[in-house]
A and B are shown apart, each in its own frame.
Chain A
Amino acid sequence: MTRSPGTARLLRRALHAPEADRGNALPAGAWWLWALGLATAASRTTNPLLLGLLVGVAGYVVAARRTDAPWARSYGAFVKLGLFVVALRLVFSVFLGSSIPGSHTVFVLPELPLPDWAQGVRIGGRVTAEQLVFSLYDGMKLAALLICVGAANSLANPARLLKSLPGALYEAGVAVVVAMTFAPNMVADVVRLRTARRLRGRPTGGVRAVAQIGLPVLEGALERSVAVAASMDARGYGRTAQVPAAVRHTTNVLTLGGLLGVCAGTYGLLAVQGAVYGLPLLLAGLVTAMAGLRLGGRRSVRTRYRPDRWGARAWLVACSGAAVAAAMIWAGAVDPEALHPGVVPPAAPVLPLWPAAAVLIGLLPALVAPVPPSSHGAGKPSSHGAGKQARPGKEQA
């Protein structure tokens, strides 16, 4: 530090994450790439220690960089969903048995006798430690995948992803987003109508209550959607530019042809004999379809207001996710045992050093991504055990 204070200070200032605002917001795509990288890594291992580390990394980044916007609260829901998946996987394994051979019996459930035609299906019976461990690992893998998706969801506004869609698809995208707001609005309506039931002195629970408020809720949600549609129409949604007929026809041909190519190519790849022509056909189809979409974009007059820029920070975030995925794939090729701890016979999982170190690269966004402005007081307590709430102390200065 003392040798060249000027350079060090400059470097530190460049690394120091700025406060987030509209101008330096990371593109939603960067967060999704990062999260998909972590998810890919999670899909490559069943080692509970590595999975726990991945979830911890995702949780820490969410805790450090999420805003308090409504969509940012979805992380907790995804964590709960993950736990539910683990529990469900275990329950299925206990009651329906498993194909995993095992010798360590934990307990024996009474087995339901089934007729001959149901051969291979078992209900109840012996439950072994191996089978439990296997399903636990399997469930954890799924849960980790879900939690990674949840992290992306709470860090990046899903509606912002729309901004990265090609122009021809934008309008369809908006329709999807508006349709998606239908669900949260309906939940709000249910709450409101249940309180209204109380006002009339009726019990708020029970099947009859649900039946009675069902119709008004649907009506209300529908009415609101129609109102939004009217508003969008009055604000110019769906205005189109005049394009020559030739361009329109070319667009149709390109898009349709491209999609056909994609279908045929995919079939070729999956079928046994078609592997030779499958890949080229798929690629050609993709290119044609993209060209069609591009040309179709001409019909749309839309412009984009302050699209998110892919700056150095965005690349760092996206690449950190990709790096984790690449490292895990590589580790899987070199040392598969470390990533898949033994189930038969059960062995205590060991934390493989290098893959674990690679997973930590995924923490990079917590350092480089712009810091959301702190609103009234401290952030919410993290719903997740990993990581403390505060950002690394020195960064704050």
Chain B
Amino acid sequence: MIRFERVSVRYEGTEHPTLSGVDLTVPEGELVLLVGPSGVGKSTLLGTVSGLVPHFTGGLLSGRVIVGGRDTRTHKPRELADLVGTVGQDPLAHFVTDTVEDELAYGMESLGLAPDVMRRRVEETLDLLGLAELRDRPIATLSGGQQQRVAIGSVLTPHPRVLVLDEPTSALDPAAAEEVLAVLQRLVHDLGTTVLMAEHRLERVVQYADQVVLLPAPGAAPVMGPPAEIMKVSPVRPPVAELGLLAGWDPLPLSVRDARRGAGGLRERLADAAPPVPPEASARPTVVHPPVPRASRPGRFARLLSRKAEARVAAADPVADPVTRVEGLGVRRGRVEALRRVTLTVAPGETVALMGRNGAGKSTLLGALVGMIEPTAGTVRVGGLAPARTDPRAMVRRVGLVPQEPRDLLYADTVAAECAAADRDAGAAEGSCRALVSELLPGVGDDTHPRDLSEGQRLALALALVLTGRPPLLLLDEPTRGLDYAAKARLVGVLRGLAAEGHAIVLATHDVELAAELAHRVVILAEGEVVADGPTGRVVVSSPAFAPQTAKILAPQEWLTVSQVRGALEAGA
């Protein structure tokens, strides 16, 4: 169906080709998964199928890509539109119209299908994707999972024979991801659509793949094969495969079900081993509370304006409380109650994972903790201060937030300039930010433009900027979006270190594996209310949606991560 013949792609101004030596054939009706560390050219490879590379992005493509008999060199993306449906990483950037039904029809209108055909296909697609109730809704009002489904639906209506998806589930909560994957399953099984998709969250998708294409390193030739074979050699693999390798299972299991079947022996071996101790908030406060800046340096006028806030800071400081306390917090946005009666305490050295579906109020809670959002009810106290009423300059040394899009934090042209600015903002000694950057991001030059960093590097830079103020409370919003396993492992290491130093960490995430690795406590939010709050093991193991794969495989034993199991086995051996 798709044939790559000695394809290589080189963008202008780069020394090495982004892709080279791609010689592959994707058979019709298969679900093919594209895996590899970030920055190896997965998106570029996907782009060559729809013709967007090189017709839209520029760059030089040598070799040939033939899709359904059409050569992408001679066919522009619009001339492949009836054959290939493409959904990019950000569904919002995909939408052309503003209601669901129009969006589903847009592609067919461009292709000039007859009105009665369009009508029938829109109805079918609404049913297929479970969108019938949303048909008249403006797209901007939908949740992330719904938007992703609309984006997929909008490329399905012209009945393409090939579907190309770039990270379709990365931004989704576990339940919404299941929804999207179920739809893809159905397309492959019932309609014989060929699906080519790239995804970092392998634990969600690898079990559905018929074939896996591994791009091992930038510019290296890809390897294609059955999922179990490829997972053995892949530098990125999901916990289930990791556990399978550890236990020496053959064939390598890819789904929790397969693994459970073979896990009897492992469970027995582990039964004798020491039961997994839930990770403890071991370290006690070692982060010293920063003194409240006396008169901060701004001009007389600014000082006049902020005098009130400072007065309050000074008054509150003597009783500064290292524990973050949220009591009865309510936040309203217009008519919507984003948070209701939320009560939460975070002690120094503790790591808390906030989970819950898209739109449950996780980001709002983080916003209230950092002072971006003013509570409509209840109180928030961070270091004894109310964040929304305190001068940002004072707050930055008490609480730091790495937002969902780390790029928002970066304004300067070079890494060095960012660091200098961060030192000034936080009133830290010169060079303290640069030292953090070198620690978190070894090998990044001073003159690098933040835009040229990879997703993971950018996150690390933003983290360093935030940490410059040495805030005792660190908040991260969806930190693993777009990170590969290696970048994630580095992040886990860094955050563990910070927790051990006494930083309190709150992370909002959909990534159950990350929560299992890091969190001492898990708080689950639903519709703006706290529905569960307890030690990670207890909250997560009992939940089908939020349990990590290791827990599912080894239940009823309470193992959460592969590294715990590895530790126990090594200790036992």
Contact = CB atoms under 8 A, between A and B. Distances in A.
Nearest to B104: A305
A305 B102 contact: yes
A197 B403 CA distance: 11
Contact of A198 (B112, B115, B302, B371): B371
Contacts of A377: 335
Given A233-B56, A235-B107, A305-B102, A227 B112 contact: no
Interface stretch (B85-93, B220-228, B281-289): B85-93
Contact of B90 (A227, A235, A376): A227
Contacts of B141: 70
Contact of A236 (B110, B425, B469): B110
A388 interface: no
B109 A231 contact: no
Interface string B379-397: 0000000000000110111
B50 interface: yes
A230 B56 contact: yes
B112 A301 contact: yes
Interface string A219-260: 000001001111111111111010000000000000000000
A178 B96 CA distance: 7
A234 B84 contact: yes
A198 B426 CA distance: 12
Contacts of B298: 203
Interface residues of B, number: 74
Contacts of B93: 224, 227-228, 231
Contact of A302 (B110, B395, B409): B110
Given A195-B372, A200-B422, A159 B119 contact: no
A134 B285 CA distance: 72
A224 B91 CA distance: 11
Nearest to A171: B110
B86 A201 contact: no
A355 B142 CA distance: 46
Contacts of B302: 203
B184 interface: no
A305 B95 CA distance: 17
Nearest to A189: B408
Given A213-B411, A305-B108, A305-B122, A235 B114 contact: no
Nearest to A378: B335
A241 B110 CA distance: 11
Interface string B48-70: 00111001110000000000000
B154 interface: yes
A17 B57 CA distance: 51
B98 A235 contact: no
B141 to A, nearest CB: 8
B114 A303 contact: yes
B150 to A, nearest CB: 13
B112 A235 contact: no
A204 interface: yes
Interface string B312-355: 00000000000000000000000100000000000000000000
B466 A199 contact: yes
A192 B86 contact: no
A46 to B, nearest CB: 38
Interface residues of A, number: 49
Interface in A85-134: none
Interface in B36-57: 50-52, 55-57
Q: Output the residue of A157, A230, A376 with the most chain B CB within 10 A.
A: A230
Contacts of B371: 198
B546 to A, nearest CB: 28
Interface stretch (B74-82, B231-239, B501-509): B74-82
B107 A236 contact: yes
B372 A198 contact: yes
Contacts of A305: 101-102, 105, 108-109, 115, 118-119, 122
Contact of B370 (A69, A199, A234): A199
Interface string B410-435: 01000000000110011000000000
B383 to A, nearest CB: 14
Given A196-B408, A199-B400, A234 B77 contact: yes
Contacts of B109: 302-305
B113 interface: yes
Nearest to B372: A195
B565 interface: no
B78 A238 contact: yes
B392 A203 contact: yes
A54 B400 CA distance: 53
B252 interface: no
A198 B397 CA distance: 12
Interface in A279-312: 301-306
A379 B26 CA distance: 53
A395 interface: no
Given A22-B135, A234-B86, A200 B77 contact: no
Q: Output the residue of B98, B298, B466 with the most chain A CB within 10 A.
A: B98
A235 B110 CA distance: 7
Nearest to B396: A201
B96 A236 contact: no
A141 to B, nearest CB: 33
B469 A201 contact: yes
A129 B204 CA distance: 75
A174 interface: yes
Contact of B50 (A229, A234, A238): A234
Nearest to A185: B92
B98 A201 contact: no
B105 to A, nearest CB: 4
A70 B56 contact: no
B411 A216 contact: yes
A22 B135 CA distance: 9
Contact of A22 (B101, B115, B405): B101
A230 B425 contact: no
A212 B113 CA distance: 48
B535 to A, nearest CB: 30
B111 A301 contact: yes
B401 interface: yes
B158 interface: yes
Interface in B126-160: 135-136, 138, 140-141, 154-155, 158
A376 B111 CA distance: 37
B106 interface: yes
Contacts of B106: 235
A361 interface: no
Given A174-B96, A201-B392, A303 B136 contact: no
26 contacts: A22-B101, A71-B98, A159-B97, A196-B403, A198-B370, A198-B371, A199-B466, A216-B411, A227-B88, A228-B93, A230-B52, A231-B88, A231-B95, A233-B55, A233-B56, A233-B76, A234-B78, A235-B106, A236-B78, A236-B158, A237-B96, A238-B110, A241-B112, A303-B118, A305-B109, A377-B335
Closest 8 CB pairs of A and B: A201-B396, A236-B81, A236-B110, A305-B105, A301-B112, A227-B93, A196-B408, A235-B107
Given A227-B90, A304-B109, 4 more contacts: A196-B403, A227-B93, A237-B96, A238-B78
Interface of A: 21-22, 69-71, 157, 159, 174, 178, 192-193, 195-204, 212-213, 215-216, 224, 227-239, 241, 301-306, 373, 376-377
